[in-house]
């Protein structure tokens, strides 16, 4: 009986992961991709995406849900990259330059975002989602008009032919994969971007360390119960804002790592789906709105991208059209988010029912015991 | 007053909220290591007294207080609860104030963690310090051992039995080095009997170590058991301050609820006749936060005014809310021999049951709408009154003229003070808003009406008007009324029978003429000795 | 007070270091396009090399014939050039600096060998200046070739 219960509970708690594993296992053979190819892709994509997904962790700890506002950080990183390309700063230096320029911007927009979310307690996710659209408008204004008109752009190669505004696609050749190739280790048939992985590993270490600091402890306390934390004297609003600032800065750095791997950048769209894919990944990895951990990040990146890699080919082989596979990517991404949110909500409801049964009972429970004297 | 060795002395403390006197010349002392049992009904001023002691901002925001609070003979004026904590006061609230995902240890040292500086301190400030978990665990363990109980320092609060949570809260207060005075507000309310026993033992332990304790409880049994001294508050005054020696629970209960003025009863139960049972409630439970109902059974006769009383948080307000389907509920409710579907507000309304919510401004009224709208709204929504139909009911119009007539009728009937029927409800006074709520319920011409806390927050004159209205409506229309109120006087003045709810159950049903002390005992969860008073109403 | 002071110093130092870091990566990471030109200078005053091996910053040597022109991208300001005349066998090694704000400079190989200064000059792509439309005299080397994508300049 209890064994049955735990199996059922395990299934319901890991429903998203299990669904993904099942779909993937079915789809892998039909994609006819070689194991070597898939593994190499996974290594590349882990390096490319993990940092961005890790940026989501802190706001979840602080009880602010999934920070869709991380695309603000991505925009800051892109501004940094545009300027690096503009001034022709190349290689690792170019990336560092973009990071150094992007970070202060990310801090500022992150603080604005955090302050706004503090006024929308309980509705952080949808607010941050909308906020990202709003800041996107400002970003577009800056990149499309201010750059070239107010901010002098030296490199005509990145300007639109009308003389101001940045082109649709920015060639990042000068910094392309300079982090990945700084030390590319070849293990058997696979090449591993060691430095990128070291950067990701140090972020993981930072997060583990951070959770052991006073601020990390406060953040968790705020995440569990704002009222109690406030009563204990923890500066709740400030703590929440800091978690968003850190997340935004990490998103800025993550976007730079992502784009250096891609080698080019869709100036006006690159950040659109940053938060979307990061959120999908962490949810697929088994995280929820309230709870997430480092393993969730990596499991999620692997599972989601595994499906991304094989779905176009599987679509090609199944339906004779790669487009269907492309369509599946979107479908799967949004589906994963929706599924996780729904499962979380129903789990929370079940939990409430269970608590009620334990606490008040249907004419039973603790109070009955207290009354039975 | 003002003994030399007093740790805390309260002298001539008075406090009023907007002209409403809540504390009147309260004075008492407390010595180190003494346990003071503080009892009083709702609204007796316990909460306000604690708020003053603890420097809650509501007090200063509403004009401060008169008199003085002295600690070690020195005048203490706290600007915030944190000042009070610094002065050595600790408070355990009725609601748990714990982080569910944290362990016992983390909760005990919450925001007072032991820290080791890290490299980043100089860059980002002290909050980058690392926690010294070993030291934290040790501190937590020493606080727990001071309490004299066994607690696992690493157990998560979410996994704990209720009793452990209570101990964790107390351990948190005594973990502060300075804590010398501990205030416990209804600490045993959620505990089982055995847990409560352990708690009382732990408190005696603490008192033995020189910590003074103010123990607030509605369980008079416990007060008698543990307190060295008992202070009884009634209507903001100390009616009794006595050493706990050979006191009976009944004495305390009568001090607590006793009124100097006798209750004004206009009607006599004998002169009234009732029909058969119209409402039968059996094994009702309601999951209303703060007012949980566990297992309530009673029946109400047709034409009766049935009162439900009890202390706040015991579940009396949960009963109408559960029956009306506003909170998750279970059990069986039968109305005119038909099962009432629970958790479905509309179905209940359609059966001819109406309610006046205790949350006037939140649930009861559309504050930004006119009187007309408010009065006609529910009737329009549920009974399709005040609507005109065109095209076979496809298009519905509001019947403005009908609504106006209705409103005029009730303005007249209830003597609602307003400038016009178009006035917005939020501009009216509390008493008039309450009348609107009643009018809104009356407009549905209900068979059965639940009225929760009808006189809360309105002045004396308005109270009388509201009660008279209810009584008249009952007499004229034969409407059965179930009235829920924290004011025992009110219940006793207009009800035919009064049920007292304690800890989510009906402790007993009394005639309004029964001894005041019996009501007090029932509120404290003690069965009255004179069992003849109980259930006689059923006969 | 003491920690306050210490923190102020640490934070100020970090701000300075941050700005400095931007400056450092800006200077060291800045790319310049270098045009390497092996044509006769001033209508034959200095002849071009017949065949020459050129290596910049220790990279693999590239061979140039007379009238060759090539382009490379260099990072940073100070660079080292080694040219080896394959006919005479003479080897010249020189160091040159590209000003920070120059995007494109031209290096004349014959001038390097002859020791004439300056052998590195600012290069102004003609089509970006007001270029006379009918000027047939202008060297239409690869630089002014109309690129397939009209927007990609140069």
Of A118, A129, A26, whose CA–CA distance to A64 is shortest? A118
Q: Per residue in B467-504, is it b (16+ CB within 10 Å) or e — as a string? A: bebbbebbeeeebbbbbbbbbbbbbbbbbbbbbbbbbb
Write out the two tokens for A97. Answer: 């330059």
Question: Which one, of C116, C72, C136, lies nearest residue C98 by Cα?
Answer: C72
Q: Please give the torsion angle defined by the CA atoms of residues C45, C49, C53 and C58, in that order, rounded to the nearest 10 degrees.
A: 10
Is the predicted pLDDT of residue B266 greater than 70, yes or no? no
- Reply yes or no on whether the pLDDT at B2 is more than 70: no
Tokens of A345: 């909500």
E-only strand ranges, A72-162: none
Least confident span in A11-20, B90-99, B146-155, B178-187: A11-20
Cis-peptide, bond into residue B305, ω within 30° of zero: no
Residue B442 to residue A291: CA distance in whole angstroms: 49
> Which chains does B contact via 3+ CB–CB distances below 8 A?
A, C
**C19 to chain B, closest Cα gap in Å:** 16
More confident residue, B387 or A43: A43
Instruction: Work out the percent of chain A whose per-residue pLDDT is above 90.
Output: 56
Looking at the domain assignment, is residue C85 inside a domain? yes
Which residues in chain B have Cβ-Cβ distances shorter than 8 Å to A366?
Answer: 162, 190, 192
Q: Would you state the pLDDT for residue C48? A: 87
Higher pLDDT, B253 or A203: A203
Q: Residue A177 above 70 pLDDT?
A: yes
Contact criterion met (CB < 8 Å) for A233 and B126: no
Strand partners, B362: none
The predicted pLDDT at position A95 comes to 96
Q: Which residue has the higher pLDDT, A202 or B160?
A: A202
The minimal CB distance from A215 to the residues B128, B503, B505 is found for B128
The tens digit of pLDDT for each residue in B295-344 reads: 899 999 988 999 998 887 788 889 998 998 888 888 999 998 889 888 88
State yes or no: pLDDT of A186 exceeds 70.
Answer: yes
Q: Is B505–A371 a contact, with Cβ atoms under 8 angstroms apart?
A: yes
Would you tell me the crossing angle of helices B162-175 and B193-208 to the nearest 10 degrees?
Answer: 10
Instruction: Determine contact, residues C142/C37, Cβ cutoff 8 Å.
Output: no
Mind giving me the DSSP string for A200-243? HHHHHHHHHHHHTBHHHHHHHHHHH-HHHHHHTT--HHHHHHHH
Whose structure tokens read 């709105």? Answer: A289
Residue ranges of B 105-124 with Cβ closer than 8 A to chain C: 121-123
Show residues of chain B in contact with A107, CB under 8 Å. none
Place of tokens 């009224």: B365
Query: Which residues in chain A are closer than 8 Å to C28, comparing Cβ atoms?
Result: 93
> What CATH class has B1-88+178-258?
alpha beta
Roughly what angle, to the nearest 10 degrees, separates helices A214-224 and A194-211?
70
Distance set, CA A122 to CA A64, A67, A187, A290, C25 (Å): 8, 13, 48, 12, 42
- Strand, coil or helix: what is A162? coil
Check residue B376 and give its pLDDT.
83
3-state secondary structure of B539: coil
B532 has pLDDT over 50:
no
pLDDT (tens digit per residue) in B52-68: 888 888 888 888 888 99
Is B128 in contact with A213 (Cβ distance < 8 A)?
Answer: yes
DSSP state of B264: -
**Are residues C25 and A96, on separate chains, in Cβ contact within 8 Å?**
yes
Q: Does A225 touch chain B (CB under 8 A)?
A: yes
Closest approach of C18 to chain B, Cα-based (Å): 13
- Give me the pLDDT at residue B259, please: 55
How do residues C6-24 score in pLDDT, each as one tens digit? 999 999 999 999 999 999 9
CB contact under 8 A, B123 and C10: yes
What residues contact A104, with CB distance under 8 A and at least 6 apart? none
- The Cα of A155 is separated from the nearest Cα of chain B by a number of Å equal to 37
Coil, helix or strand for B300? strand
Euclidean distance between the first and final Cα of chain C, in Å? 59
Given a cut of 50, whether residue A1 has pLDDT beyond it is no
Going by pLDDT thresholds of 50, 70 and 90, the confidence category of residue B432 is: confident
- In angstroms, what is the C-alpha Rg of chain C? 21
User: How confident is the model at residue B44, as a pLDDT?
Assistant: 79
Q: What is the pLDDT of residues C35-51, one digit of tens each?
A: 998 888 887 788 888 88
Burial B416-429 (b: 16+ CB within 10 A, else e): bebeebeeebeebe
Domain of residue C52: give its range: 31-128
Spacing of C-alpha A49 from chain mean position:
8
Task: Identify which has the larger pLDDT, B142 or B389.
Answer: B142
- H/E element holding C106? strand C104-108
A2-362 carries CATH number 1.10.3470: yes
pLDDT score, position B12: 92
pLDDT for B392: 67
Confidence band, pLDDT 50/70/90 cuts, at residue B351: confident
What's the whole-number mean pLDDT along residues B157-185? 87
**CB pairs B-C closer than 8 Å:** 11
Q: pLDDT tens digits for A134-168?
A: 999 999 999 999 998 888 888 888 888 888 899 99
Which has more pLDDT, A222 or B440?
Answer: A222
pLDDT at site B265: 52
Return the axis-axis angle of helices A194-211 and A236-262, rounded to nearest 10°: 170
In sequence order, what are the residues at sequence separation of 6 or more whose Cβ sits closer than 8 angstroms to the Cβ of residue B391? none
pLDDT at A156: 83
Give the residue numbers in C contacting B (CB under 8 Å), as ranges.
3, 6-7, 10-11, 14
Gap between the Cα atoms of B509 and A234, Å rounded: 47
pLDDT tens readout for residues B4-38: 578 899 999 998 877 778 888 999 999 999 999 99
- Are B372 and B443 in contact by the 8 Å Cβ rule? The answer is no
Q: Do domains B1-88+178-258 and B269-538 have the same CATH topology?
A: yes
Please give the Cα distance from C112 to C120 (Å, whole number): 9
Verify whether the Cβ–Cβ distance C73 to A90 is below 8 Å. yes
Backbone φ, ψ for residue B250 (5° rounding): -65, -40
ipTM of the complex, rounded to two decimals: 0.83
Mean pLDDT of B146-162: 86
Mean pLDDT of B352-372: 80
Of B197, B203, B137, B194, the closest CA to residue B173 belongs to B203
- Assess whether pLDDT exceeds 60 at residue B496: yes
Cβ <8 Å between A89 and C29: yes
Q: In this model, does residue B268 exceed pLDDT 80? A: no
Residues forming beta bridges with residue C106, ordered by sequence position: C35, C121
The pairing of strands A190-193 and C120-122 is unpaired
Chain A residues within 8 angstroms (CB to CB) of chain C: 84, 87-94, 96-97, 100-101, 154-157, 160-161, 167, 174
What is the number of structural domains in chain C?
Answer: 1
Q: Which chains touch C (3 or more CB pairs under 8 A)?
A: A, B
Query: pLDDT confidence of B349, banded at 50, 70, 90?
Result: confident
- CA distances, B45 to each of A51, A312, B145 (Å): 56, 71, 34
- Minimum CA–CA partner of B283 in chain A: A363
Instruction: Give the pLDDT confidence score for residue B525 in this predicted structure.
Output: 76
Q: Is the pLDDT of residue B362 over 80?
A: no
pLDDT given at position B253: 82
- Among the partner-chain residues A213, A218, A233, the one whose CB lies closest to the CB of B118 is A213
pLDDT value, residue A59: 95
Number of Cβ within a 10 Å radius of residue B277:
15
Residue spans of the domains in chain B: they are 1-88+178-258, 96-177, 269-538
Per-residue model confidence (pLDDT) at position B1: 46
Task: Provide the shortest C-alpha distance from residue C35 to chain B (in Å).
Answer: 46
CATH topology (fold) of B269-538: Rossmann fold (3.40.50)
Helix%, strand%, coil% for chain A, nearest 5: 75, 5, 20
- Please name the member of A224, A367, A369 whose beta carbon is closest to the beta carbon of B100: A224
Contacts of B122 in chain C (CB under 8 A): 3, 6-7, 10-11
| C93 part of a folded domain | yes
Residue A311 confidence class, pLDDT cut points 50, 70, 90:
confident
Neighbouring C-beta atoms of residue A263, cutoff 10 Å: 12
Helix axes A294-319 and A194-211, enclosed angle (nearest 10): 140
Determine whether the interchain pair C30/A167 forms a contact, defined as Cβ–Cβ distance below 8 Å. Answer: no
Cα angle: B482, vertex B488, B489; to 5 degrees: 105
pLDDT at B531 over 60: no
With bands split at pLDDT 50, 70 and 90, how would you rate the model's confidence at B350?
A: confident
Looking at the predicted structure, is the pLDDT value of residue A366 above 60?
Answer: no
What is the residue extent of each domain of chain A? 2-362
Per-residue HEC secondary structure of B126-144 comes to HHHCEECHHHHHHHHHHHH
Q: Residue C152 pLDDT > 70, yes or no? A: no
Chain A hits for C127, Cβ within 8 Å: none
* H or E element at residue B412: helix B400-414
**B539 has a chain C CB within 8 A of its CB:** no
Q: What is the Cα C116 distance to its own chain's centre?
A: 17
Check B193 against A367: CB less than 8 A apart. no
* Mean pLDDT score across all residues of chain A: 87
CA Rg value for chain B = 26
Q: Is the pLDDT of residue B69 over 80?
A: yes
Long-range contacts of C103-107 (CB under 8 A, 24+ apart): C103/A88, C103/A154, C103/A155, C103/C32, C103/C33, C104/C32, C104/C33, C104/C34, C104/C35, C105/C32, C105/C33, C105/C34, C105/C35, C106/C34, C106/C35, C106/C37, C107/C34, C107/C35, C107/C36, C107/C37, C107/C81
Where are any strands of DSSP class E within chain A?
169-171, 184-187, 190-193, 264-266
Residue C135 lies inside a defined structural domain of this protein: no
Mutate to test the interface with C, among B122, B124, B127, B129 (most CBs of C within 10 A): B122
A22 vs A16: CA distance, rounded Å: 10
Range of lowest pLDDT (B152-166, B415-429, C122-136):
C122-136
Average pLDDT of chain B, as a whole number: 83
Reported as a pLDDT band with limits 50, 70 and 90, residue B254 is confident
The pair of structure tokens assigned to B400 is 């403005």
Across the interface, of C25, C30, C31, the residue whose CB is closest to A100 is: C25
| C72: its two tokens | 């490379």
List of residues 6+ apart from B517 with CB closer than 8 A: B250, B253, B254, B257, B258, B528
């Amino acid at each position: 009986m209890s064994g049955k219960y735990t199996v059922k509970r395990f299934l319901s708690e890991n429903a998203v992961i299990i669904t993904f594993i099942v779909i993937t296992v079915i789809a892998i053979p039909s994609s006819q991709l070689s194991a070597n190819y898939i593994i190499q892709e996974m290594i590349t994509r882990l390096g490319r995406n993990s940092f961005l997904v890790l940026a989501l962790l802190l706001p979840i700890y602080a009880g602010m849900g999934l920070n869709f506002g991380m695309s603000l950080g991505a925009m800051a990183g892109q501004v940094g990259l545009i300027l690096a390309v503009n001034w022709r700063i190349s290689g690792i230096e170019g990336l560092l330059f973009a990071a150094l320029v992007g970070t202060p911007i990310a801090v500022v927009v992150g603080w604005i975002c955090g302050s706004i979310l503090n006024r929308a307690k309980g509705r952080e996710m949808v607010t941050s989602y909308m906020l990202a659209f709003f800041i996107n408008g400002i970003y577009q204004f800056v990149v499309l008009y201010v750059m070239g008109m107010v901010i002098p752009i030296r490199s005509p190669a990145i300007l639109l032919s009308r003389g101001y505004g940045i082109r649709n696609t920015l060639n990042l050749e000068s910094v392309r994969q300079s982090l990945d190739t700084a030390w590319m280790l070849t293990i058997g048939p696979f090449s591993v971007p060691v430095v990128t992985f070291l950067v990701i590993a140090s972020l993981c270490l930072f997060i583990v360390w951070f959770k052991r600091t006073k601020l990390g402890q406060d953040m968790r306390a705020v995440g569990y119960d704002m009222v109690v934390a406030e009563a204990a004297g923890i500066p709740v609003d400030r703590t929440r804002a800091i978690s968003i600032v850190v997340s935004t800065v990490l998103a800025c750095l993550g976007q730079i790592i992502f784009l250096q791997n891609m080698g080019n950048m869709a100036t006006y769209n690159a950040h659109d789906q940053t938060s979307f894919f990061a959120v999908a990944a962490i949810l697929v990895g088994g995280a929820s709105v309230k709870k997430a951990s480092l393993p969730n990040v990596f499991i999620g990146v692997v599972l989601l991208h595994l499906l991304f890699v094989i779905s176009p080919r599987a679509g090609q082989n199944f339906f004779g059209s790669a487009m269907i596979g492309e369509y599946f990517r979107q479908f799967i991404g949004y589906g994963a988010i929706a599924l996780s949110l729904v499962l979380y909500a129903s789990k929370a409801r079940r939990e409430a029912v269970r608590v009620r049964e334990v606490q008040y009972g249907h004419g039973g429970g603790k109070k009955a015991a207290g009354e039975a004297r | 007053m003002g003994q030399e060795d007093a740790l805390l002395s309260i002298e001539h403390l008075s406090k009023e909220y907007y002209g409403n006197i809540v504390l009147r010349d309260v004075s008492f002392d407390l010595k180190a290591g003494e346990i003071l049992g503080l009892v009083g009904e709702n609204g007796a001023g316990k909460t306000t007294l604690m708020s003053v002691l603890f420097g809650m901002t509501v007090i200063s925001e509403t004009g401060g207080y008169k008199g003085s609070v002295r600690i070690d003979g020195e005048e203490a004026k706290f600007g915030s609860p944190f000042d009070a904590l610094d002065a050595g006061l600790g408070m355990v609230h009725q609601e748990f104030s714990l982080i569910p995902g944290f362990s016992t240890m983390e909760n005990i040292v919450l925001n007072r963690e032991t820290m080791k500086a890290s490299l980043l301190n100089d860059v980002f400030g002290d909050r980058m310090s690392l926690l010294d978990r070993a030291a934290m665990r040790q501190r937590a363990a020493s606080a727990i051992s001071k309490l004299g109980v066994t607690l696992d320092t690493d157990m998560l609060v979410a996994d704990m039995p209720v009793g452990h949570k209570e101990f964790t809260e107390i351990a948190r207060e005594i973990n502060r080095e300075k804590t010398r005075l501990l205030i416990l507000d209804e600490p045993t309310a959620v505990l089982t009997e055995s847990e409560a026993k352990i708690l009382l033992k732990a408190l005696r332990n603490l008192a033995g170590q020189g910590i003074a304790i103010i123990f607030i409880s509605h369980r008079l049994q416990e007060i008698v058991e543990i307190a060295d001294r008992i202070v009884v508050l009634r209507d903001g005054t100390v009616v009794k301050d006595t050493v706990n020696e050979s006191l009976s629970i009944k004495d305390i209960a009568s001090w607590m609820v006793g009124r100097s003025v006798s209750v004004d009863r206009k009607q006599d139960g004998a002169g009234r006749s009732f029909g058969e049972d119209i409402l039968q409630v059996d094994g009702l439970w309601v999951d209303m936060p703060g007012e949980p109902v566990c297992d309530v059974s009673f029946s109400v006769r047709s034409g009766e005014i049935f009162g439900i009383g009890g202390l706040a948080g015991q579940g009396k307000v949960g009963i109408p809310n559960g029956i009306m389907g506003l909170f998750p509920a279970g059990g069986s409710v039968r109305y005119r021999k038909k099962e009432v579907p629970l958790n479905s507000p509309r179905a209940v309304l359609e059966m001819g049951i109406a309610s006046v919510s205790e949350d006037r401004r939140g649930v009861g009224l559309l504050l930004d709408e006119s009187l007309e709208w408010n009065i006609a709204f529910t009737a329009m929504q549920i009974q399709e009154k005040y609507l005109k139909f065109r095209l076979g009911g496809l298009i519905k119009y509001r019947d403005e003229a009908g609504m106006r007539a209705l409103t005029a009728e009730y303005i007249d009937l209830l003597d609602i003070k307003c400038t016009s029927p178009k006035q917005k409800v939020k501009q009216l006074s509390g008493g008039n808003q309450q009348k609107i709520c009643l009018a809104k319920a009356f407009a549905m011409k209900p068979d059965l009406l639940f009225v929760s806390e009808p006189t809360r927050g309105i002045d004396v004159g308005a109270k009388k008007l509201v009660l008279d209205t209810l009584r008249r409506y009952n007499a004229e229309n034969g409407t059965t009324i179930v009235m829920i109120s924290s004011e025992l006087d009110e219940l006793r003045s207009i009800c035919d029978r009064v049920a007292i709810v304690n800890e989510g159950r009906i402790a007993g049903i009394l005639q309004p003429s029964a001894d005041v002390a019996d009501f007090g005992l029932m509120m404290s969860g003690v069965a009255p000795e004179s069992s003849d008073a109980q259930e006689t109403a059923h006969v | 007070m003491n920690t306050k002071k210490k923190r102020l110093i640490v934070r100020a130092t970090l701000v300075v270091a941050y700005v400095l870091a931007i400056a450092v990566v800006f200077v060291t990471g800045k790319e310049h396009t270098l045009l390497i030109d092996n044509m006769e200078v001033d209508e034959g005053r200095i002849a071009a090399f017949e065949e020459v091996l050129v290596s910049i910053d220790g990279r693999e040597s590239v061979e140039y014939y007379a009238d060759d022109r090539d382009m490379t991208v260099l990072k940073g300001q100070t660079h080292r050039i080694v040219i080896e005349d394959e006919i005479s066998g003479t080897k010249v090694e020189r160091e040159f600096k590209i000003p920070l704000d120059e995007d494109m400079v031209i290096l004349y190989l014959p001038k390097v060998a002859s020791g004439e200064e300056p052998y590195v000059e600012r290069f102004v792509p003609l089509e970006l200046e007001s270029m006379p439309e009918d000027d047939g005299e202008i060297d239409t080397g690869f630089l002014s070739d109309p690129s397939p994508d009209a927007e990609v300049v140069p």
